[in-house]
Amino acid sequence: METRRILMRSLAVAVVMASVIWTTTAAGREVMYSCCNKVSTAKVTDPIIDIRLQHESLPCVKAVIFETKQVKFCSDPKQRWVREKVKQFFKKNNITPRPTSSISD
């Protein structure tokens, strides 16, 4: 009888520990995961220091990410001004865009 009680307590402790580990691990993943889940149509006027293309993979949406010194902007790649900004950035920085990073898709 005593052995059974010890076994039940050990099992309860193991379940509590497993649930704590599982919830803290899941919460940690949410904090590390960051992407654009919506895009803005507002024009970026600050100097751009970097550009990235984000492909759609829910909850992330397809976006051109303009990075400035202050903030990152998630912009709609279908907007004409966005395509022009990308071309200007590539030309100014002597960058040849790779075919896999096309924003015209």
Name the residue with higher pLDDT: 32 or 55: 55
- What is the mean predicted confidence (pLDDT) over 49-57? 95
Q: Taking every pair of C-alpha atoms in the chain, what is the biggest distance, in angstroms?
A: 80
Please give the Cα distance from 102 to 105 (Å, whole number).
7
The confidence score (pLDDT) of residue 72 equals 94
**Confidence band of 30 (pLDDT split at 50, 70, 90):** very low
Question: For 53, phi and psi rounded to 5 degrees?
Answer: -105, 125
Helices (H) and strands (E) in the chain, counts: 2, 3
Predicted model pTM: 0.61
Nearest CA-CA partner of 54 in 81, 74, 80, 68: 74
**Rg of the Cα trace of the chain?**
24
